């Protein structure tokens, strides 16, 4: 499900890695958010290429410690160590350049300023001017770290991840960054209620008919006549879970009656319910039910 998007190509080429794999989401009006996996085992990759001016930020989660020298707008910030699990920021308006002095592994969230503006508009907040951060310094951000680690699994096993989860995760990172580092504060009271009965029914119908997870948050929100952020909040308010979690629970519910028929192979059950393969089914089934699909099948008599 990963895409060889321009974001992945560009970041990979700036670092001298060639094309890198990326997820791109289209949940916001007239802009996109992307996340790219960047990995290099070379101890001295060298100097990154100059960054063409763009009104966008990179929020970078580190999966291993790495050492770099930093320049921003031609000013040296010296040699810095980016800690494992830490989050660093890069502003593409200021031509950040690094000398990569050690191997690295990271996820780079691409957040154009237009995306931050759209998130603010969606929540009735003022637009933010800039992000508060220190160049070349990692901060401990549990939200970025936890979402990033879940997305790392998505890069390693893309067939097991639904489009709706990628949309949810990347939009969540954008909103979190705008709030924590941009000081975004709502100035109008967005509705905190749930979906109308027809909206909840329609959303569940669409999700149930797309068990493979090919539907995105934007499409669901449009069907309900809501913005993406409003829809996500209202769906959780009505159901108690995020849309991607409801979809997983629905897959497991569909699997249970199929498992009672021992003539149906487990691999076929998995595909019918929207899982990528038998092991994908087994992992989520055990997590939600407390037993494996095979054990559940034989417990039914």
Establish whether domains 6-180 and 250-299 are of one fold. no
Q: What is the DSSP letter of 263?
A: T
Alpha-carbon span 156 to 39, nearest angstrom: 13
Q: Rounded to a whole number, what is the distance in angstroms from the first to the last CA of the chain?
A: 38
Residue 215 to residues 60, 210, 224, Cα–Cα distance (Å): 27, 7, 14
Give the per-residue pLDDT at 2: 45
For the chain, what are the domain ranges?
A: 6-180, 197-240, 250-299
DSSP string, 156-174: HSGGGS-HHHHHHHHHHHH
CATH code for 250-299? 1.10.10.60
Q: What pLDDT is stored for residue 203 in this prediction?
A: 93
Per-residue tens of pLDDT for the chain, all 301 residues: 445 455 666 777 777 777 788 888 888 878 889 999 999 888 877 888 888 889 999 999 999 999 989 999 989 988 989 999 999 999 999 999 989 888 999 999 999 999 999 988 887 788 988 999 988 899 999 999 999 999 998 898 888 888 899 999 999 999 999 999 999 886 544 456 889 999 999 999 999 998 888 888 888 988 998 888 889 889 999 999 999 999 999 999 999 999 998 889 999 999 999 998 999 999 999 999 999 999 999 887 6
CATH class of the domain at 6-180? mainly beta
Quick one: which of 97, 96, 87 has its CA closest to 46?
97
- CA quadruple 256, 258, 261, 266: dihedral, nearest 10: -100
Q: What angle do CA 135, 177, 99 make, to 5 degrees?
A: 25
Q: What is the pLDDT of residue 230?
A: 85
Q: How many residues does the chain have?
A: 301
pTM of the model: 0.83
């Amino acid at each position: 499900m990963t895409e060889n998007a321009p974001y992945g190509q560009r970041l990979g080429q700036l670092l001298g890695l060639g094309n890198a794999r990326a997820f791109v989401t289209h949940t916001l009006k007239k802009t996109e958010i992307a996340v790219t996996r960047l990995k290099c085992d070379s101890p001295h990759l060298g100097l990154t290429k100059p960054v063409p001016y763009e009104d966008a930020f990179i929020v970078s989660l580190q999966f291993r410690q790495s050492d770099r020298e930093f320049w921003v707008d031609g000013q040296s910030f010296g040699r810095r160590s980016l800690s494992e699990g830490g989050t660093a920021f890069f502003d593409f308006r200021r031509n950040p350049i690094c000398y990569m002095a050690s191997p690295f592994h990271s996820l780079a969230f691409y957040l154009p300023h237009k995306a931050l503006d759209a998130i603010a508009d969606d929540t009735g907040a003022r637009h933010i001017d800039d992000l508060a951060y220190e160049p070349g310094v990692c901060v401990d951000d549990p939200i970025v770290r936890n979402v990033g680690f879940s997305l790392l699994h998505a890069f390693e096993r893309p067939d097991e991840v639904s489009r709706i989860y990628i949309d949810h995760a990347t939009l969540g990172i954008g909103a979190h960054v705008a709030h924590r580092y941009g000081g975004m504060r709502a100035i109008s009271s967005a509705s905190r209620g749930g979906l109308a009965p027809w909206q909840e029914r329609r959303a569940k119908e669409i999700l149930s008919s797309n068990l493979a997870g090919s539907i995105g948050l934007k499409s669901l929100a449009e069907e309900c006549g809501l913005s993406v952020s409003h829809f996500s909040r209202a769906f959780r308010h009505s159901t108690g879970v995020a849309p991607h979690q409801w979809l997983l629970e629905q897959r497991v519910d569909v699997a249970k009656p199929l498992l009672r028929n021992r003539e149906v192979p487990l691999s076929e059950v998995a595909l019918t319910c929207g899982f990528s393969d038998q092991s994908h089914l087994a992992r989520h089934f055990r997590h939600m039910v407390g037993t494996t699909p095979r054990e559940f099948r034989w417990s039914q008599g």
